[in-house]
């Protein structure tokens, strides 16, 4: 491989069950050995962890894992085989008397697509694998590639599936924002390189990167679990009540990449704008794509543009699509480069 693949693959699975214990712990009852078994299929491991009353957050050797009572989110980069986690996760959930009710898979365009192993060699191959791995009762399914006319390298791939109950009953007040940033400012990217022979643990070096980069100021209320890789690279998970945030950085010149993901509420108001602005300012990227997933028609995408345009980033395209058990996905791309552009509208 010419360089490390920063763009992540992201899988979100939701479950339901009748056991009263389920409502308190659910998937959090999975043993660490069971989680490690799942991650071996994906080809990554846990390097750090933190938890609170609501969920467990793990930093992985390639990105992150979040385990709630009713859902699990795995986000992995590099040449991991993320979708291979589905069969063992369904198996372990059945042992807890939990049933899969919905699935969502998303990713951007890979920087090094020819280096990806099965089943990630193409989106078509991924969709076929998903179709064959999911139980038949998840009968409402859709796969789509959301384009960016002026940034073809930042297309967004989405697959979702659900059963009939999940089609009409899912959270309407929350949204998920996935931000992919490339062409990072070189001086800022250097903060995610370790000094040779610094003698620090990965946790201590990660904490230092969190502070010198300003990541600790993105959400001062969050408990941060951070990790620095050797010789470079960085991951963090933030937990704030029942909400998570996560950042992953590949800082090398030529294929620099950073991602930021968080969960918000449509009632957060300007808090979301401040959070997104602070996250992007840490990296000052040349290109940014933002995927906002919400069950309502609330115009969260307008807040995204309002956060990024004051940073010198111009909205180049905005596309909207609707998916089962997901709602609306709005995909926007931004760049600092001067070129002919159209208006950033609500989609087409």
Would you list which residues are annotated within the binding site for substrate?
A: 4, 62, 229, 252
Measured distance CA(263)–CA(293) in Å, rounded? 10
Place of tokens 């979040």: 66
148 assigned to active site? no
The DSSP line for 192-233 is GBPPTT----HHHHHHHHHHHHTGGGTSTTSEEEEEE-SSB-
162 assigned to active site? no
With beta carbons less than 8 A apart as the criterion, state whether 265 and 174 touch. yes
Query: In the structure encoding, which two tokens stand for residue 234, read together?
Result: 């960085």
Q: Is 214 left (phi over 0), alpha (psi -120 to 50) or beta?
A: left
Measured in residues, the chain has a length of 348
122 assigned to active site? no
Measured distance CA(184)–CA(282) in Å, rounded? 9
- Between the two ends of the chain, the Cα-to-Cα distance in Å is 37
Strands in 9-16's sheet, in edge-to-edge order, are 46-51, 56-60, 63-67, 71-76, 9-16, 99-107, 156-162, 140-146
With beta carbons less than 8 A apart as the criterion, state whether 242 and 71 touch. no
77 assigned to active site? yes
Query: In the structure encoding, which two tokens stand for residue 324, read together?
Result: 């089962």
User: Which residue in 61, 63, 102, 291 is the catalytic one?
Assistant: 63
- Positions of E strands within the chain: 9-16, 46-51, 56-60, 63-67, 71-76, 99-107, 140-146, 156-162, 174-182, 223-228, 234-240, 243-250, 257-265, 287-294, 314-323, 327-335
Measured distance CA(346)–CA(5) in Å, rounded? 31
**Which candidate, 117, 131, 138, 102, places its Cα nearest to that of 11?**
102
User: Which residue in 235, 256, 259, 291 is the catalytic one?
Assistant: 235
Residues annotated as part of the active site: 63, 77, 235, 248
């Amino acid at each position: 491989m010419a360089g490390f693949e920063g763009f992540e693959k992201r899988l979100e699975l939701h479950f339901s069950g009748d056991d009263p214990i389920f409502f308190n712990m659910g998937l959090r009852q999975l043993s660490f050995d069971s989680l490690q078994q799942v991650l071996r299929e994906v080809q990554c491991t846990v390097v750090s962890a933190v938890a609170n009353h609501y969920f467990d957050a793990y930093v992985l050797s390639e990105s992150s894992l979040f385990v709630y009572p009713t859902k699990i989110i795995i986000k992995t980069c590099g040449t991991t085989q993320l979708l291979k986690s589905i069969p063992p996760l369904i198996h372990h959930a059945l042992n807890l008397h939990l049933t899969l009710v919905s699935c969502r898979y998303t990713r951007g365009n890979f920087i090094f697509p020819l280096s990806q192993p099965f089943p990630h060699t193409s989106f078509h191959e991924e969709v076929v694998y998903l179709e064959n791995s999911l139980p038949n009762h998840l009968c409402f399914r859709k796969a789509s590639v959301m384009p960016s006319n002026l940034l073809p390298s930042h297309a967004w791939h989405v697959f979702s599936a659900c059963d009939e109950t999940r089609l009409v009953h899912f959270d309407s007040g929350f949204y998920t924002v996935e931000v992919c940033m490339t062409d990072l400012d070189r001086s800022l990217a250097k903060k995610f390189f370790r000094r040779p022979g610094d003698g620090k643990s990965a946790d201590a070096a990660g904490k230092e990167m969190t502070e010198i980069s300003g990541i600790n100021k993105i959400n001062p209320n969050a408990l941060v679990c951070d990790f620095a890789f050797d010789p470079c690279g960085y991951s963090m998970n933030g937990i704030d009540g029942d909400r998570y945030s996560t950042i992953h950085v590949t800082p090398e010149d030529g294929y620099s990449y950073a991602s930021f993901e968080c969960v918000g509420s449509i009632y957060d108001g300007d808090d979301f704008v401040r959070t997104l602005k602070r996250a992007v300012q840490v990296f000052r990227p040349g290109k940014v794509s933002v995927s906002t997933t919400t069950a309502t028609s609330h115009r969260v995408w307008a807040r995204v543009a309002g956060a990024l345009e004051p940073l010198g980033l111009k909205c180049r395209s905005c596309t909207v699509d609707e998916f089962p058990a997901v709602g609306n996905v709005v995909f926007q791309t931004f760049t600092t480069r001067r070129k002919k552009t159209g208006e950033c509208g609500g989609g087409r």
